[in-house]
A and B are shown apart, each in its own frame.
Chain A
Amino acid sequence: MKDKLFLLFYAAAVIVVTSYHNIMFLAGFLVVMFVLSGAQFLLLFRKAFFAVVFFNSIISVSYLTVSLIQGHPWAQYIVLINLRVFLLTFMGFFIINRVNLFKALSFSSTMTFILVLAGSQILTFKKIYDDFAFALKSRVIKRAQTKDLHNYISSMICFFLNKSVNNSREVTQAMRSRGFFGD
């Protein structure tokens, strides 16, 4: 129940933060999040900062430039958007660390199931993906040509595609064997 409430709170907070445009309110909200994050403050702050810095810098700098040329006020918008984006990102990281997503989504067995199956395969695939990259590095003596890279990417994608299709068959059979489908 705790996880469901947390996720619900997160969804509501996202809607509020994107609907209410008062800078003082957003700043206050951010301070509350900072306090709640406690010992994790620095870690979350760094993570959120690096997650948004690229996109936000581009938008802020171009908005500033355009406004200066056209003589519009700019401070209000730049403060508002950066504050809100940072708040949402920080809050996202804060909540995700605390919610057991599988518990939060347990009202839908389909959703939980897809997430468990996909999540575990993603972790396996990521490991194999790293090995593919290592194996290429290990085998390339001079420099791989574009043709080799195309072959490499194709065979890697085929491997994963084949593996996915086989896994989906095997998982189905395992589920049947465990009496999942009631036949």
Chain B
Amino acid sequence: MHIPDGFISPKVYIPLYGISAGLWAYGLRKIKKKLNEQAIPFVASLTAFCFVAMMIAIPLPGGTTAHVTSVALLAVVFDIWTAFLSVSLVLFINAVLFGNGGITTLPVNALGIGFIGSVVAFYTFKTLSRWKKTVALFAAGWLSINISALAIAVVLGVQPLMGRSEDGSPLFFPFGLSVTIPALIIPHLLIGIGEGILTVVVYKFLERTFSEIFHER
């Protein structure tokens, strides 16, 4: 979801930057504890991975394609923090290093797609994998994208409450929750299938051909 800068109020993106910064520091400390000096190269390499993964479009039933985030995959293969930090860094690199904009939407996407997405994927997989692994993987991918979309829809949908000009017209994103939630959720019900397929297919491929990767956890 590429939302240009200017639709989110500073009353929202400044506190969200604060929350993100706290979680970034905590996540990096967690990874450093586990991997010691390999932590920084590890996060950097997985960021590069996440970047190319986002270029890939998955064919969906019906002939369309959907771009994926690979958040669920990273969360179930590694952990929540690796997924969250990689996604956040991709957003940062895209916004600032490659100059594609999105400096005010960065914390929204980082928390929505990166943090909430990987938490949902990780726990969905953990809960369901005892029962049926394939279902657990698909659900992790599909659900993580949909909950992320819901979170972003909520952030967009509360923008009309963040202030109005004298004539009563909005200042930021103009539509409320009753519009943003269906507008984001309905397409993601379909797009999520791509993320679900990716998570299942790649996880199984890894198990078959490259199971050592799971020791990296």
Contact = CB atoms under 8 A, between A and B. Distances in A.
Interface string B167-189: 11111111100000000000000
Contact of B93 (A52, A84, A122): A122
Contact of B103 (A74, A92, A110): A92
Given A97-B99, A110-B28, A122-B48, A21 B205 contact: no
Interface string A111-152: 001111111011011100100000000000000001001100
A159 to B, nearest CB: 10
A181 interface: yes
A113 B28 CA distance: 13
B191 interface: no
A42 interface: no
Interface residues of A, number: 70
A76 B103 contact: no
A96 B44 CA distance: 21
Given A96-B96, A167-B45, A14 B58 contact: no
Interface stretch (B110-118, B135-143, B208-216): B208-216
A115 B66 CA distance: 28
Contacts of B19: none
Dominant secondary structure at the A interface:
helix
Contacts of A87: 6
A89 B44 contact: no
A124 to B, nearest CB: 8
A118 B40 CA distance: 10
Interface stretch (B49-57, B126-134, B146-154): B49-57
Nearest to B99: A96
A129 B141 CA distance: 23
Give the most central of B37, B99, B104: most A CB within 10 Å.
B99
A171 B44 CA distance: 10
Given A167-B41, A171-B41, A172-B38, A125 B52 contact: yes
A19 B10 contact: yes
Contacts of A175: 37, 41
A18 B6 contact: yes
B161 interface: no
A172 B40 CA distance: 9
A115 B53 contact: no
A160 interface: yes
Contact of A113 (B44, B99, B201): B44
Contacts of B170: 77
Q: Which 9 A-B pairs have the closest CB atoms?
A: A96-B99, A117-B44, A121-B48, A85-B6, A164-B45, A171-B41, A154-B205, A88-B5, A77-B169
22 contacts: A18-B6, A18-B8, A18-B13, A55-B2, A59-B173, A73-B167, A73-B169, A77-B169, A80-B169, A81-B6, A88-B104, A101-B96, A118-B48, A119-B97, A124-B48, A129-B55, A146-B59, A149-B59, A154-B205, A162-B210, A164-B49, A165-B42
